């Protein structure tokens, strides 16, 4: 059961409730849900709910209706995240674990690890103890394999995941690996589950070959009941009557689990399909269906692999899959960040160099705006987001060192460029050090229970009204009131307590202020994306640097712009954006803003810059990222 406590509860009352529950034989977990203190009590209590209901300090007692308790979303509404070094599973980033089925040699593991890291995998997998159907098949290198995994972590910088097949391996696992995997065949090996529950390392729990979702969650419950909450569920296909694939991937498990449990869910399409050509389509589908990540088998020479070669992707195929996932992720509100590990290391490096703790990133508006989301999706938990009141204030704060970074929108796919920021990029001497694209979904947000027919006034940012034009035209009697940002709009209607007021904002902003989504996705075009750039005073060490931004002006003679573009064309450099802005004080003269796919800060780019310098009157490098 769940005990929701009164806001004004005293420590003494709380202690009494806790000790009553413990003497009653319950496992007790204290939590905070939406700012309210709750106690989860698991086990057969000696007293009934009515007894606890009348204890001083208890506001409500809610029974947990499912057989699994600690893993249940009824007990813990918010998503659990599992942290492995700089990698957070279950957060806003898609986490991809990749590597061979089995560790075969040091060379094999290093080669594959370098390849998968290059393509954006953030954790490395590889079995050292292999549970094989046949006793005559390769059984894994045992401890030798674990040592190789530890070397991979040191040399390639990827956290490592491997399967534990017996409690006897617990000490070895502690010594060498970051995440222990409980394989499909061991999902109901209860002694092993209890063992990993006590291990204190994150656990990746695969679904059994013929396990129901409830049985699977009960297995997770074993791990949590031993005190380990760091559990990731991994669907890897179940046995059905269908022989065309090795197993049948149960993709519907994703939404089912998301409703039932707070634990992160990842998909292993390799074991689910058993065939290389089927892996990528199912991986893409898994991300579209809401999975938090993927576990993919990759081998540089699958024909010679000692296990599961036919289902292992070639590194290049894996790279292509990652590019596709990178595109799909923002559609479902997430990110696949190719440079996640490098970026985390760079932020740490910068913190050390500046001799201070947590870095600060400034964004426009309130917590709950898309700018805030861009900020938190770009930096994850590494950096604190700081709200600012204007774009200029962000540039100024970064310039003066009040903030270490700034996150500003540059262009929207429906409404075009945010010119103010282009002008500020020219004015301030700051660098672009990164970029992030978000899908923008707008919802009509109102008070709980309010009816759309009674809405009279709608609050939001003017650009948002523009993006929702068609929807608003259908309600032409509504008065539209501009606010600084979308989160402010929601706050404003919440404070006003008028059921005829609504706001247009994100779901996050609605949730944050206890408001409800009245109508989902009201933007005119669902392909509504905003590209944000991250600004700073210095470039990030080891950043990805796939793209660069420049500003320049040319002389006023025929072919002047063409001459500059020719420099890129002759060097085979791909131009991804060209924008012009009027030069202040010089009517009808323009600055050109150029994005190219190249690292302008690399030594090899120097001759191109020299050539460009000769063809331009003014040239400013905004940065490579």
Burial annotation 480-514 (CB, 10 A radius, 16+ → b, else e): eeebebbbbbbbbbbeeeebebbbbbbbbbbebbe
Which of the residues 80, 81, 165, 530 is marked catalytic? 530
Task: Closer to ligand PEP by CB, 131 or 310: give it.
Answer: 131
Q: Does 101 bind Mn ion (CB under 5 A)?
A: yes
Sign of CA dihedral 475, 478, 479, 480: negative
Q: Quick one: what does residue 183 bind among Mn ion, ligand PEP, none, with the CB cut-off 5 to 8 Å set by partner type? A: ligand PEP
Phi and psi of 535, rounded to 5°? -110, 155
The closest residue (CB) to Mn ion is 101
Please state the three-class secondary structure of 11-58 as a single string. HHHHHHHHHHHHHCCCEEEEEEECCEEEEEEECCCCCCHHHHHCCCCE
Task: Closer to ligand PEP by CB, 127 or 269: give it.
Answer: 127
Segment near Mn ion (CB under 5 A); pick from 100-108, 149-157, 166-174, 427-435: 100-108
263-282 residues near ligand PEP, rule: CB under 6 A: 271
Q: Does 308 bind Mn ion (CB under 5 A)?
A: yes
3-state helix, strand and coil shares in percent for the chain, rounded to the nearest 5? 35, 25, 35
Q: Does 161 bind Mn ion (CB under 5 A)?
A: no
Q: Quick one: what does residue 404 bind among Mn ion, ligand PEP, none, with the CB cut-off 5 to 8 Å set by partner type? A: none
Task: Closer to ligand PEP by CB, 139 or 437: give it.
Answer: 139
Max Cα–Cα distance, the chain, nearest Å: 90
Q: CB 381 → ligand PEP: shortest distance, Å?
A: 28
Q: CB 206 → ligand PEP: shortest distance, Å?
A: 4
Burial annotation 362-397 (CB, 10 A radius, 16+ → b, else e): bbbbbbbbbbbbbbbbbbbebbebbbbeebebbbbb
Q: CB 232 → ligand PEP: shortest distance, Å?
A: 13
Which of the residues 532, 568, 592, 605 is marked catalytic? 532
Task: Closer to Mn ion by CB, 42 or 101: give it.
Answer: 101
Phi and psi of 377, rounded to 5°? -75, -30
Calculate the dihedral angle through the C-alpha atoms of 16, 19, 21, 24, rounding to the nearest 10 degrees. Answer: -130
Q: Does 249 bind ligand PEP (CB under 6 A)?
A: no
Asked about 165 being catalytic, the answer comes back as: no
Q: Does 550 bind Mn ion (CB under 5 A)?
A: no
Task: Closer to Mn ion by CB, 232 or 364: give it.
Answer: 232
Q: Quick one: what does residue 387 bind among ligand PEP, Mn ion, none, with the CB cut-off 5 to 8 Å set by partner type? A: none
Q: CB 94 → Mn ion: shortest distance, Å?
A: 21
Asked about 532 being catalytic, the answer comes back as: yes
Rounded to whole angstroms, the Cα distance separating 438 from 427 reads: 26
Rounded to whole angstroms, the Cα distance separating 343 from 513 reads: 32
Q: CB 250 → ligand PEP: shortest distance, Å?
A: 13
Residues 6+ positions from 420 with CB-CB distance below 8 Å: 391, 392
Task: Closer to ligand PEP by CB, 131 or 290: give it.
Answer: 131
Segment near ligand PEP (CB under 6 A); pick from 180-188, 310-318, 467-475, 532-540: 180-188
Q: Quick one: what does residue 236 bind among Mn ion, ligand PEP, none, with the CB cut-off 5 to 8 Å set by partner type? A: ligand PEP
Q: CB 211 → ligand PEP: shortest distance, Å?
A: 11
Best CA proximity match to 621, nearest among 482, 391, 425, 333? 425
Segment near ligand PEP (CB under 6 A); pick from 181-189, 211-219, 394-402, 513-521: 181-189
Q: Does 101 bind ligand PEP (CB under 6 A)?
A: yes
Q: CB 134 → Mn ion: shortest distance, Å?
A: 14
Place of tokens 């065309």: 244
Q: Does 127 bind ligand PEP (CB under 6 A)?
A: yes
Environment class of 357 (CB within 10 Å of its CB; exposed 0-12, middle 13-18, buried 19+): exposed
Per-residue contact flags (x/-) with Mn ion for residues 454 to 483, judged by CB under 5 A = ------------------------------
Task: Closer to ligand PEP by CB, 60 or 185: give it.
Answer: 185
The DSSP result for 116-129, as a single string, is: HHHTT--EEE-BSS
Q: Please give the C-alpha separations between residue 193 and each of 159, 200, 206, 226, 543, in angstroms, as whole numbers.
A: 22, 12, 12, 9, 40
Q: Does 1 bind ligand PEP (CB under 6 A)?
A: no
Give the E-state strand segments of 255-382 in sequence order. 265-267, 293-297, 359-364
Yes or no: say if 460 and 482 are a contact pair by the CB < 8 Å rule. yes
Q: CB 268 → Mn ion: shortest distance, Å?
A: 9
Angle between helices 106-118 and 143-156 (to 10 degrees): 40
Q: Quick one: what does residue 615 bind among Mn ion, ligand PEP, none, with the CB cut-off 5 to 8 Å set by partner type? A: none
Angle between helices 419-427 and 391-399 (to 10 degrees): 20
Token pair for 300: 């540089």
Q: Does 236 bind ligand PEP (CB under 6 A)?
A: yes
Best CA proximity match to 179, nearest among 122, 139, 236? 122
Sign of CA dihedral 15, 16, 22, 26: negative
The closest residue (CB) to ligand PEP is 183
Segment near Mn ion (CB under 5 A); pick from 2-10, 21-29, 308-316, 584-592: 308-316
Segment near Mn ion (CB under 5 A); pick from 182-190, 303-311, 328-336, 497-505: 303-311
Token pair for 252: 């519907």
Selected from 206, 360, 439, 513, the binder of ligand PEP by CB under 6 A is 206
Segment near Mn ion (CB under 5 A); pick from 97-105, 136-144, 476-484, 589-597: 97-105
Q: CB 141 → ligand PEP: shortest distance, Å?
A: 14
Rounded to whole angstroms, the Cα distance separating 139 from 547 reads: 45
Q: CB 104 → Mn ion: shortest distance, Å?
A: 12
Task: Closer to ligand PEP by CB, 38 or 234: give it.
Answer: 234
168-197 residues near Mn ion, rule: CB under 5 A: none
Task: Give catalytic residue positions.
Answer: 530, 532
Interface ranges with ligand PEP (CB under 6 A) = 101, 127, 131, 183-185, 206, 236, 271
Interface ranges with Mn ion (CB under 5 A) = 101, 308
């Amino acid at each position: 059961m769940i005990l929701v406590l009164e806001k004004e509860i005293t420590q003494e009352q709380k202690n009494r409730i806790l000790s009553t529950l413990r003497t009653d034989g319950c496992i007790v977990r204290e939590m905070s849900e939406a700012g309210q203190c709750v106690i989860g009590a698991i086990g057969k209590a000696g007293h009934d709910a009515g007894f606890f209901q009348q204890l001083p300090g208890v506001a409500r007692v809610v029974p947990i209706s499912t057989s699994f308790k600690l893993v249940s979303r009824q007990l813990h509404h918010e998503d659990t995240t599992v942290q492995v070094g700089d990698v957070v599973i279950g957060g806003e980033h898609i986490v991809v674990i990749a590597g061979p089925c089995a560790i075969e040699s040091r060379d094999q593991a290093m080669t594959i690890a370098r390849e998968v890291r290059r393509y954006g995998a953030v954790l490395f997998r590889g079995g050292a103890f292999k549970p094989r159907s046949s006793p005559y098949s390769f059984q894994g290198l045992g401890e030798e394999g674990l040592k190789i995994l530890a070397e991979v972590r040191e040399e390639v910088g990827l956290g490592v995941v491997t399967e534990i097949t017996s409690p006897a391996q617990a000490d070895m696992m502690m010594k060498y690996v970051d995440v222990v995997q409980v394989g499909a065949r061991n999902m109901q090996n209860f002694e092993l589950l209890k063992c990993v529950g006590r291990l204190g390392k994150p656990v990746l729990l695969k679904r059994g070959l013929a396990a129901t979702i409830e049985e699977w969650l009960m297995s997770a419950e074993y791990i949590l009941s031993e005190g380990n909450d760091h559990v990731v569920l991994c669907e890897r296909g179940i046995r059905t009557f269908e022989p065309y694939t090795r197993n049948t991937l149960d993709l519907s498990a994703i939404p089912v689990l998301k409703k039932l449990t707070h634990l992160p869910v990842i998909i292993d399409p390799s074991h689910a399909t058993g065939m290389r050509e089927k892996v990528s389509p199912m991986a893409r589908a898994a991300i579209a269906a809401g999975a938090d990540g993927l576990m993919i088998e990759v081998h540089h020479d699958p024909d010679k692999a000692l296990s599961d070669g036919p289902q292992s992707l070639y590194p290049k195929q894996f790279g292509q899959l990652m590019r596709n996932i990178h595109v799909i992720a923002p559609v479902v509100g997430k990110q696949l960040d190719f440079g996640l590990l490098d970026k985390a290391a760079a932020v740490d490096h910068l913190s050390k160099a500046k001799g201070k703790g947590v870095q600060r990133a400034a964004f426009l508006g309130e917590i709950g705006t898309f700018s805030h989301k861009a900020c938190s999706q770009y930096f994850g938990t590494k950096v604190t987001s700081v709200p600012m009141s204007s774009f200029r204030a962000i540039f100024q704060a970064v310039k003066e060192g009040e903030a270490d970074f700034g996150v500003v929108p540059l262009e929207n796919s429906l409404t075009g460029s945010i010119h103010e920021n282009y002008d500020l990029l020219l004015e301030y001497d700051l660098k672009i050090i990164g970029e992030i694209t978000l899908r923008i979904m707008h919802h009509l947000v109102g008070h709980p229970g309010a009816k759309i027919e009674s809405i009279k006034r709608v609050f939001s940012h003017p650009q948002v009204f523009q993006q929702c034009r068609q929807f608003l035209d259908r309600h032409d009697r509504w008065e539209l009131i501009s606010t600084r940002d979308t989160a402010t709009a929601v706050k404003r209607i919440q404070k006003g307590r008028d059921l005829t007021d609504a706001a247009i904002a994100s779901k996050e902003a609605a949730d944050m202020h206890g408001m409800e989504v009245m109508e989902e996705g009201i933007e005119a075009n669902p392909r509504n994306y905003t590209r944000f750039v991250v600004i700073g005073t210095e470039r990030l060490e080891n950043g990805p640097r796939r793209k660069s931004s420049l500003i320049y002006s040319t002389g006023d003679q025929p072919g002047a712009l063409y001459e500059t573009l020719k420099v890129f064309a002759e060097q085979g450099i791909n131009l991804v954006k060209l924008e012009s802005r009027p030069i202040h004080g010089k009517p009808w003269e323009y600055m050109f803003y150029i994005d190219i796919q190249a690292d302008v800060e690399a030594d090899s780019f120097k001759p191109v810059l020299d050539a460009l310098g000769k063809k331009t009157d003014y040239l400013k490098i905004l940065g490579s990222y």
